Structure 1
């Protein structure tokens, strides 16, 4: 990876931090995104210590604001000569009070905004850089917690539940992964989704009150494999349960549902304004 540049979103804690330290040992350049500068700088120093040959640069942005997502893509395109890997890791989980519905800066249900609209918009914004750097890989960090999107109430304005919202947003990300992989055929850019590990010991899992089962370092391994393994260099449009090419929720394979979701996602991610 001596000439390899990878962007990790949500790198200031949890899985993102573990990925930064894991990939730092391989050298190259790491672009670390976060929304808390103090935490982000701490992880950047940890990554530099873990990999003496690594170059680390940091980028601040709040991905709950699509205007900041677009601005982040612009800054990276302007500053970076190439981009070989994009790991869309940043996410909002169920929260400490799953009964409390939250919205993004543009008024979208928060989990759908951060877990779907933001990574989709960032990927599209960085696509010129990824394509010019091809072969390049996009990895969307998904989850085994998946629930069908209800198009009668996409923003979950009724009977809200944070865990259900999280599961829907992660399935939606997998559905977007499948469609984007089709769109990018022939460009040299692959797109895959992965469930990294069950109930990692992260701040969000502890806040929800669930005993952790695994560590962020456990979760970093399958994500790093999707980024680095030469044997899957051409694999695209797949969902992995850790290291296994697996089947996602049935709705991910429903063409009509995917079409409706992508129409909504393109409208939201492109304009940054609620439709």
Structure 2
């Protein structure tokens, strides 16, 4: 079982921005400088970074670049074979890389708990948790816990993993929790009755709803961190339009094939490679970014370009909805984040 340390006054932050919601970055110039490259001597050297879905796409690219910068990387992936291939690929490029491999199925809360226990046993602290893994699912798909697959894997599994690793995050100075959302959240309908058993029809709409849930979680987590005064940061990001398998697969349901074909056609013109898409994750994990910030590409309708602060949709900033989603997630997962106070009001 995971044990929780006592929070003492020395654990509390008294620096600028600790008692208010972040409106942006401490320095946009610093962000632009950090965006150019992650050098081997950057601040992640010697730190432990857990990345879900790190065997492919932007998760793999983030793991690869952070390992090159000297971080200890914990790959947390569902498929052990593909995870091992990813670890070998990183080690072949960077012989001195420190890579750990932990199997996790975010669609099973039992698997999430087992993975969290392994990480806790192996690592005394976690400096960054990048909640990256995601899927689009299909009509009627459910997790092993009986909730809609996008909601269960993209949000609920990460909610539980974050709560179970909270003590290891608190054991690290200025640790951060990175929630990977998507610009698709802007197309989601904010209706709490759509979670965890949505009435909405369409695999892309359920995906968008799960990405909205990622942002509601990240921002409410930031509010709880601020209320507790602990040295954590909750940072959200979106990678832009990336040429990965996530939204490029052909839906099995004929009703969604036309929209899938349209997405692939658009992506052929504007999608960026995973190396570029990983930039938002890297900055969220390593740059001097305030808790509560949302990062994403700043050009081409937020699909590509330099990374900067972004304003989420109005629905993603709905405090009441975030609190209700949090309560629902606690009820479904059994993880209550007891170390973080509920914000007043």
TM-score > 0.5, shorter chain as reference: yes
Counterpart position of 2:160: 121
> Match for 2:245 among 200, 203, 217?
203
Question: Would you say 1:40 and 2:104 are equivalent positions?
Answer: no
Counterpart position of 2:99: 56
Counterpart position of 1:228: 286
- RMSD of aligned residue pairs (Cα, Å): 1.7
Aligned 8 A contact 2:152 2:196 in 1: no
Greater CA radius of gyration, 1 or 2? 2
Counterpart position of 1:162: 203
How far apart are 1:271 and its partner, in Å?
6.2
After superposition, the C-alpha distances for 1:229-272 in whole angstroms (9 at most, x for unaligned) are: 1x32xx01122223221111211222221221111111112269
After superposition, the C-alpha distances for 1:74-95 in whole angstroms (9 at most, x for unaligned) are: 11111112211111001112x4
5+ residue gaps, structure 2: 1-43, 251-260, 298-306, 337-345
After superposition, the C-alpha distances for 1:206-249 in whole angstroms (9 at most, x for unaligned) are: 214414311111111121011111x32xx011222232211112
After the TM superposition, which residues 19-168 of structure 1 pair with which residues of structure 2 at under 5 Å, given as runs? 19-93=62-136, 95=137, 98=138, 100-146=139-185, 147-168=188-209
Counterpart position of 1:241: 296
- Corresponding residue pairs, total: 264
How far apart are 1:132 and its partner, in Å?
0.8
Distance 2:282 2:217 in 1: 21
How far apart are 1:67 and its partner, in Å?
1.2
After superposition, the C-alpha distances for 1:8-41 in whole angstroms (9 at most, x for unaligned) are: 1001111111111111210131100111111111
Aligned 8 A contact 2:74 2:101 in 1: yes
How far apart are 1:157 and its partner, in Å?
4.5
Distance 2:335 2:224 in 1: 20
Distance 2:274 2:71 in 1: 22
Distance 1:24 1:109 in 2: 34
TM-score norm. by structure 2 comes to: 0.73
Distance 2:71 2:200 in 1: 47
Residues 1:271 and 1:124: Cα distance change in structure 2 (over 3 Å): closer
How far apart are 1:151 and its partner, in Å?
2.2
Q: Which has the higher contact order (CA 8 A, sep 6+)?
A: 2
TM-score norm. by structure 1 comes to: 0.90
Aligned 8 A contact 2:220 2:319 in 1: no
5+ residue gaps, structure 1: none
